[in-house]
Amino acid sequence: MNPPDTITNQPFDSLKPGDGARIERRVSVGDMRGFTTHAADITDHGIDRKLASDPDFRAALAQGGFAVTLLVTLIIGRFPGPGTRLDTLSVECSGVLKQGDMPIAEATVASLDAKSRKVQLDCRCCREDGTVILAGRIGVIVPDRQVSRPFGRQVALEPGHAPDGFEHIEDLARDMGPVRMAVVNPVDAPSIEGAISSARAGLIEPVLFGAEKKIRTAAEEARVDLSGVDIRDTPVPEQAPRAAARLAAARGAWGAGRAGFHRRGRRKCSRHTGRDLCRAWLAWDRDRPAGQCSR
């Protein structure tokens, strides 16, 4: 695997039959939501909630979307890597994939043609238990030059295009370093996944307020690791916003953000902040006195 701070490839001359690589990723709630939303956009909103929740629909979407995407991402992003172009693709689908599964994509060099720089890759995607989801052969054209550069932006952009507004804001926040953030009641999979994803992106150092048992159950559902994360066990939902607000006001956290709020917790929290925390992210400015904030 490449160092995390470097983007590299394997040019044609460095490849030989038998060389290969693999990549794996747990199918999360967010993954399925993204593929379903994209499918709805493609069909001009021709997919309703009933179809989107159908097990067969979701299994086919995960199999054809997630598994193929995993293989293609492995090939063009890691092995052979940047500069590689797809030439042919022939796969057979034999298994199902669902949320919570851990698909493992593998690509192995089968043959090389020096004149055209075409490489045939034997590819397959399996579940953890070895069940094959899809398998086949993908033909690619591999560059003859080495690509090696420092890792840049986390989100790929078209060459020459400026980042959009949200990406620009994210870049500014990342440049300032992670902000200690109180996250209130992240007791469902999307909430805990969002908090931990923000931490991995270098934006926040989360402090989780809520019922610890529910937080850990949500983390298991979202397949996220809570190792090293500060969890403040607050079993009563409406008490969590108060505890988070006290921490932020005491400058123990630079900000407070909502995840899921108990209805009563919303009202109680607004007494501390003057705003409904369920509808706002609050960030404390380092140069302002404790308790003053900007939305």
Q: Domains of the chain, with CATH numbers? A: 6-143 (3.10.129.10), 165-283 (3.40.50)
Over residues 122-150, the pLDDT tens digits come to 999 999 999 999 999 999 999 999 988 87
Question: Tokens 């057979």 belong to which residue?
Answer: 92
Over residues 26-83, the pLDDT tens digits come to 888 778 888 888 888 888 878 888 888 888 888 888 888 889 999 999 999 999 999 9
Q: Does 278 have pLDDT greater than 80?
A: no
Over residues 81-98, the pLDDT tens digits come to 999 999 999 999 888 888
Token output for 266: 């919303």
Length of the chain: 295
Average pLDDT over residues 153-168: 57
d(CA 270, CA 264): 10
**Quick check: helix, strand or coil at residue 237?**
coil
**Paired strand residues for 125:** 105, 134
Counting residues of the chain whose pLDDT is more than 70, the rounded percentage is 77
d(CA 68, CA 76): 12
d(CA 56, CA 94): 14
Question: Is-contact 239 173, C-beta < 8 A?
Answer: no
Question: Regarding beta strands 179-184 and 204-210, do their DSSP bridges make them parallel or antiparallel, or are they unpaired?
Answer: parallel
What is the pLDDT of the chain when averaged over all its residues?
A: 80
Counting residues of the chain whose pLDDT is more than 90, the rounded percentage is 42
d(CA 71, CA 205): 32
Q: What angle do CA 47, 50, 51 make, to 5 degrees?
A: 45
Q: What is the pLDDT of residue 273?
A: 37
Q: What is the pLDDT of residue 47?
A: 87
Q: What is the pLDDT of residue 168?
A: 67
Number of neighbouring beta carbons within 10 Å of residue 69? 15
Q: Which helix (H) or strand (E) holds 77?
A: helix 68-77
Q: Give residue 70's Cα distance to chain centre.
A: 13
Q: Does 156 have pLDDT greater than 70?
A: no
Over residues 203-247, the pLDDT tens digits come to 889 999 999 999 999 999 888 899 999 999 999 999 999 998 888
